[in-house]
Amino acid sequence: MFNGDILNVFESLQCGSRNHLRAFVGTINQMGGNYTPQYLSMEEFIIIIENSNERCN
């Protein structure tokens, strides 16, 4: 793999992780729960949650 390929894989994993976080938090909210981020800052968390799902390559 070339460095560019590794970067593309990493970016795709990050994109998928953001989409999964949105789905996870959405499900918790629908069930009446509340999610508090453990590793992300609140600012990073809000930025991710407030955006729509992304199309990952």
Type of residue found at 35: Y
Whole-structure pTM value? 0.88
Say if 10 falls within a structural domain.
no
Say if 38 falls within a structural domain.
yes
Say if 34 falls within a structural domain.
yes
- pLDDT of 1 strictly over 80: no
Say if 31 falls within a structural domain.
yes
Say if 11 falls within a structural domain.
no
- Alpha-carbon distance of 23 to 42, in angstroms, equals 17
Say if 29 falls within a structural domain.
yes
Give the tens place of pLDDT for each residue, 4-53. Answer: 899 999 999 999 999 999 999 999 999 999 999 999 999 999 999 999 99
Say if 3 falls within a structural domain.
no
Parent domain of 36: 21-57
Say if 13 falls within a structural domain.
no
Closest CA to 25 of 40, 10, 5, 3: 40
What's the number of domains the chain is made of?
1
Position 52 scores a pLDDT of 97
